[in-house]
């Protein structure tokens, strides 16, 4: 077997990629019907709309950049047009993340315990941070992991090659197409503590990455709608601060894992003059988590930190031994205490929708249940398929009422009790429902309204 070990040492991807693939698909199957999250319901719903010939922003509103919609739609088109197909998109990204993390440990194949420890640690952290969810964070984790892998040859290298610097800029430009907050680490990467780093080369790659997704948006004729939805909408939105919230208990545990990984990185690079800049860059990746306090939003930052740590030479000091043990213990305890629960509520709701509608019927579920559209395979009756306190502008409310009046959906499902309820956000919709619809069933706080006349 020595020839196998020698081959892996020459090309560690021979081991890293197969193990990463097995890990990612192991997580995919372990998390089936578990841990559903509303954001992945939004990406899935819009991707289904794209497969039906509809366009984001123009036909289906969302305030996030477009790449996750199209990436999800592409994978669903060649697999399944359901949430299972959407989660394959996150699984492919997870293979790339694990491959980046395990790349350097695979070189130490003659010390298999070290590789095994990294494999277990990567699995535990990915499960804790819901890396299987098909949100923009799953794709960002892959992009930032690749960028972290390039740091030692680019921004942190003694003599960075321009082609590597261009690649770093390109990855940064692509990442902005998945989340607006990626602008911050992209800007920070332009100013590393390295005088030989070519800002011109980086900017060339950054512009190329931006044009890769901005140009097709304008070619589709939705460039102006993109800017009005992602930038203009929030600039004129008085309720935008309602988006902010503190962490839940499970999210606090995820935050602890993030801090431990950051501390581990600092302990390995304590004498490095670029350490402070590197910590700022890793922290900047997680900036969106500081506003919403959803723990899974820390996954891209943790993935990048783990790649950076795995690239360092292992040390024998006490801190370097204790921190990974503490991270593994915390991840294991958190996974036992907050294991992703079965999402039977969503699947039961979707089943109830399919029983009283056909695939061609439009529905509207409010205020915020995008997973219902995705799991039931039904298209929303309004481009505003949800309404929340931070999107409930007057023109949004008017548009929903106008769209429902025009499309006359067969089924409307409303949350009338739990906050935020439609009664609080859109009382005018309740008046329309009272005139044209009747109750056919209830499901917890959700009330099913069917159109009175189904003729025509």
Do 269 and 383 fall into the same domain? no
Kindly compute the dihedral angle of the four CA atoms of residues 315, 317, 321, 327, in this order, to the nearest 10 degrees. -90
Pair (434, 332) in one structural domain: no
Residue 22 lies in a domain: yes
* d(C-alpha 361, C-alpha 380), whole Å: 9
Same domain membership, residue 229 and residue 91:
yes
Alpha helix segments (H runs only) across 129-219: 136-151, 162-176, 183-188, 199-219
Let me know the angle formed at the C-alpha of 252 by 38 and 140, rounded to the nearest 5 degrees. Answer: 50
- Residue by residue, pLDDT tens for the chain (456 residues) are 564 555 566 678 889 999 999 999 999 999 998 999 999 999 999 999 999 999 999 999 999 999 999 999 999 999 999 999 999 999 999 999 999 999 988 887 667 888 888 999 999 999 999 999 999 999 999 999 999 999 988 888 888 899 999 999 999 999 999 999 999 999 999 999 888 899 999 999 999 999 999 999 999 999 999 999 998 887 777 777 777 676 676 688 888 899 989 988 888 766 666 788 999 999 999 998 887 768 889 999 999 999 999 988 666 666 666 778 888 888 888 887 778 888 888 999 999 999 999 999 999 999 999 999 999 999 999 999 999 988 888 899 999 999 999 999 999 999 888 888 888 889 889 989 999 999 999 988 899 999 997 644
Question: Does residue 31 sit in helix, strand or coil?
Answer: coil
Please state, in angstroms and as integers, the Cα–Cα distance from residue 35 to each residue in 75, 249, 448, following that order. Answer: 20, 16, 25
pLDDT, position 421: 84
φ and ψ of 73, to 5 deg: -60, -40
Domain count, the chain: 2
Residues 364, 230 share a domain: no
| Residue 87: its H or E element | helix 83-107
Tally the residues of the chain.
456
Contacts with 371 (C-beta within 8 Å, 6 or more apart), sequence order: 36, 38, 40, 41, 44, 83, 343, 346, 350
Q: Does residue 228 sit in the same domain as residue 192?
A: yes
Q: What SS3 state is found at 441?
A: strand
Angle, helix 83-107 to helix 38-51, in steps of 10 degrees: 110
Distance CA 157, CA 153 (A): 5
Q: How far apart are CA 442 and CA 320, in angstroms?
A: 55
- State how far Cα 278 lies from the chain centre: 23
Same domain membership, residue 312 and residue 169: yes
380 in a domain, yes or no?
Answer: yes
What is the domain range of residue 320?
A: 2-337
Please say which residue of 337, 371, 387 terminates a domain: 337
Q: Does any domain span residue 145?
A: yes
Cα–Cα distances in Å, from 311 out to 20, 47, 107?
A: 17, 36, 11
Last residue of a domain, one of 289, 320, 337: 337
323 falls within a domain: yes
Residue 436 lies in a domain: yes
201 contacts: CB under 8 Å, gap ≥ 6: 162, 165, 166, 169
Are both 264 and 170 inside the same structural domain? yes
* Distance (Å, whole) CA 75 – CA 249: 33
Which of 337, 368, 389 is the endpoint of a domain? Answer: 337
Contact 279, 262 (CB under 8 A): yes
Q: Which two tokens stand for residue 6?
A: 């020698």
Residues 266 and 312 in one domain: yes
Residues 326 and 361 in one domain: no
Query: To which residue do tokens 């492919």 refer?
Result: 92
* Angle formed by the axes of helices 83-107 and 299-311, nearest 10°: 20
Q: How far apart are CA 18 and CA 103, in angstroms?
A: 11
Q: Are residues 348 and 331 in the same domain?
A: no
**60 and 171 inside one domain:** yes
The answer as to whether 142 is a domain residue is: yes
Does residue 68 share a domain with residue 190? yes
- Of 128, 146, 47, the closest CA to residue 87 belongs to 47
Rounded Cα distance between 39 and 136, Å, is 9
In this structure, is residue 456 part of a structural domain?
no
């Amino acid at each position: 077997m020595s020839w196998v070990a020698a081959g892996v040492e020459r090309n560690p991807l021979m081991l890293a990629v197969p193990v990463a693939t097995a890990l990612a698909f192991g997580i995919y199957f372990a998390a089936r019907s578990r841990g559903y999250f509303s954001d992945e319901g939004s990406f899935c719903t819009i991707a289904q709309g794209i497969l039906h010939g509809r366009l984001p922003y123009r036909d289906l509103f969302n305030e996030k950049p477009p790449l996750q919609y199209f990436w999800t739609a592409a994978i669903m088109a060649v697999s399944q047009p359901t949430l299972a197909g959407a989660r394959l998109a996150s699984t492919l990204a997870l293979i790339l993340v694990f491959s980046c993390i395990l790349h350097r440990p695979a070189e130490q194949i003659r010390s298999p315990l070290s590789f095994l420890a990294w494999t277990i640690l990567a699995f535990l952290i990915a499960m804790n941070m819901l890396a299987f969810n098909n949100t923009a964070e799953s794709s960002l984790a892959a992009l930032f992991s690749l960028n972290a892998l390039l740091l030692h040859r680019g921004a942190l290298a003694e003599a960075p090659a321009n082609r590597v610097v261009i690649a770093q800029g390109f990855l940064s430009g692509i990442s902005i197409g998945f989340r607006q907050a990626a602008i911050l680490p992209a800007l920070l990467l332009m100013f590393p503590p390295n005088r030989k780093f070519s800002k011109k080369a980086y900017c060339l790659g950054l512009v190329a990455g931006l044009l890769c997704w901005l140009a097709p948006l304008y070619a589709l004729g939705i460039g102006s709608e993109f800017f009005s939805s992602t930038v203009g909408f929030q600039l004129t939105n008085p309720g935008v601060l309602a988006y902010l919230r503190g962490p839940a208990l499970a999210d606090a545990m995820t935050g602890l894992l993030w801090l431990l990984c950051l501390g581990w990185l600092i302990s390995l690079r304590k004498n490095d003059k670029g350490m402070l800049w590197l910590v700022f860059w890793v922290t900047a990746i997680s900036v969106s988590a500081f506003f919403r306090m959803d723990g899974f939003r820390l996954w891209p930052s943790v993935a990048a930190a783990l790649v950076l740590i795995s690239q360092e030479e292992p040390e024998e000091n006490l801190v370097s031994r204790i921190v990974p043990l503490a991270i593994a213990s915390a991840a294991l305890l958190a996974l036992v205490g907050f294991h992703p629960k079965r999402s039977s509520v969503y699947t039961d709701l979707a089943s109830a929708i399919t029983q009283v509608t056909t695939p061609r019927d439009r529905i509207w579920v409010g205020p915020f249940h995008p997973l219902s559209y995705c799991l039931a395979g039904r298209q929303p009756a309004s481009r505003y398929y949800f309404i929340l306190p931070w999107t409930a502008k007057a023109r949004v409310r008017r548009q929903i009422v106008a769209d429902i009046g025009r499309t006359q959906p067969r089924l409307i499902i409303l949350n009338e009790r739990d906050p935020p309820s439609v009664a609080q956000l859109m009382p005018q919709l309740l008046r329309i429902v009272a005139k044209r619809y009747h109750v056919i069933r209830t499901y917890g706080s959700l009330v099913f309204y069917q159109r009175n006349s189904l003729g025509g």
